[in-house]
Amino acid sequence: MVLFTAVSHSATAQQYGQYTVDTTQVFSQVEQMPALPGGGGNVALVKAVQKLVQLPAEVREGRTEGRVFVRVVIGVSGVGRQATVVQSLNPACDAAALAAVKRLPRLVPGRYYNQPVATLLTLPVLFLSPRHVFTPNEVASQAQFPGGEAALEQYIAKNLTTPAEVRQRDLQGRVAVRAVLRADGRLGACEVQNSLCPSCDDEALRLVRAMPRWQPALGYDDQPVAVYQTLNIWFRPPAPPAGTAPPVPENQIYSQVEQMPALPGRPGPEAVQSVLQELIAYPEHVTNGDGQVSFVVEPDGRVTRPVMLKSISIPVDQAVMAAALRLPRFEAGRLRGQPVAVRLVVPVVVDIR
């Protein structure tokens, strides 16, 4: 975001080794760029400009936002001259950007071969309303959880409640939550950007909303600002209880075997569909339609990892997957006489009148 350039007005600038203090040449590739007397490099120079900017009314009211690029020559005395707008926003913002650059204090001039020389700088000047929510690459200092990254990891580990769905479906992955971190350090509006499962999303949102106040981000005027903060909340299934076999890895699950899984006393795929339909606890508002649910019958007959292959609606899908997990224990599928994990696909018909 911060752009600095130095351009030579002389094609033969590189040939000189010593320069008198009254040189009118403007150089590029100088060994030391102009800087504030107190140092701080490019970021400090941009901060100094931002502190001098007077926002026009249209920016303060949120009607205009953007940035202006101003090119200025920093002479051998460190005083700026010939400031011009090279990327415009509108007349009011252009005038405010020029005024801010012209009010910069005397700088330490650029140096070439250890001699002061005139240097051309291009400075960005931001015009953002007080209600602007910054992205992380628009701020001078990032927001920080109290105590830093290690404390944030400890907070998540201590306060995260793993939903039953994670264990039942053997889910593993992250929920990405983007939150508005206000200028006072409090968490504002939150939204899920990367979903894992409905109960995981709800838990991730709960955890983020309950976070303590952060140290806010700082803009280039060194004032606290609102910023978008993305947080990744990871979910992993807990270790299975003692005596329970862990779910079979995906690469060891079959779709067709010599003896397919069956419900005790009710063989055949039609029986599975019938029992599943009876177990569905439909939500208050039902969407009729045809769907497909898939789940794994483990070698011990347990049902795990339901997923909708053909969706009906989110509420109905959730009810169908919950019903699949309530199916009675199957007689396991067998391959060459040995029990194996098999993924079944079962049609679901919702027709409520």
Query: Which CATH architecture does the domain made up of 250-350 adopt?
Result: 2-Layer Sandwich (3.30)
Residue 348 confidence (pLDDT) above 90:
yes
pLDDT at 1 over 70: no
Tell me what pLDDT residue 15 has: 35
Whole-number pLDDT of residue 243: 67
Binned at pLDDT 50, 70 and 90, residue 23 comes out as low
Q: Which residues contact 35 (CB under 8 A, 6 or more apart)?
A: 41, 44, 45, 107, 108
CA distance 139 to 134: 7
Q: Where are the domains of the chain?
A: 13-127, 133-235, 250-350
The band of 258, judged by pLDDT with boundaries at 50, 70 and 90, is very high
Read out DSSP for 129-182?
A: -TTPEEPGGG-SB--B-TT-HHHHHHHHHHH----HHHHHHT--EEEEEEEEE-
The confidence band for 11, taking pLDDT boundaries of 50, 70 and 90, is very low
Cβ-based neighbour number of residue 27 at 10 Å:
22
DSSP 214: P
pLDDT beyond 70 at 17: no
Q: Is 256 exposed, middle or buried (0-12, 13-18, 19+ CB in 10 A)?
A: exposed
Report pLDDT for 240: 66
Please tell me the distance from the alpha carbon of residue 220 to that of residue 139, in angstroms, as a whole number: 6
Mean pLDDT computed over 3-12: 43
* CATH top class, domain 13-127: alpha beta
Reading the block at residue 169, the tokens are 């479906």
Q: What contacts 58, CB < 8 A, 6 or more positions away?
A: 64, 90, 92
Least confident of 28-32, 114-118, 212-216, 230-234: 28-32
CA-nearest of 138, 139, 136, 216 to 182 is 216
Q: What whole-number distance in Å separates Cα of residue 42 and Cα of residue 39?
A: 9
The architecture CATH gives domain 133-235: 2-Layer Sandwich (3.30)
**What share of the chain in percent tops pLDDT 70?**
91
% of the chain beyond a pLDDT of 90: 59
Q: How far is CA 295 from its chain centroid?
A: 32
Compute the distance between CA of residue 197 and CA of residue 216 in angstroms, rounded to an integer: 30
Average pLDDT, stretch 83-96? 95
Confidence of residue 332 (pLDDT cuts 50, 70, 90): very high
Average pLDDT of the chain, as a whole number: 87
Q: What's the CA angle centered on 17, arms 121 and 29, to 5 degrees?
A: 25
Which pLDDT score is estimated for 151? 96
Q: pLDDT digits over 143-197, tens only?
A: 999 999 999 999 999 999 998 888 767 778 899 999 999 999 999 999 999 998 8
Q: What is the mean pLDDT of residues 52-56?
A: 93
Q: Is 13-127's fold the same as 250-350's?
A: yes
The band of 19, judged by pLDDT with boundaries at 50, 70 and 90, is very low
Q: What was the pLDDT predicted at 7? A: 46
Average pLDDT over residues 275-293: 90
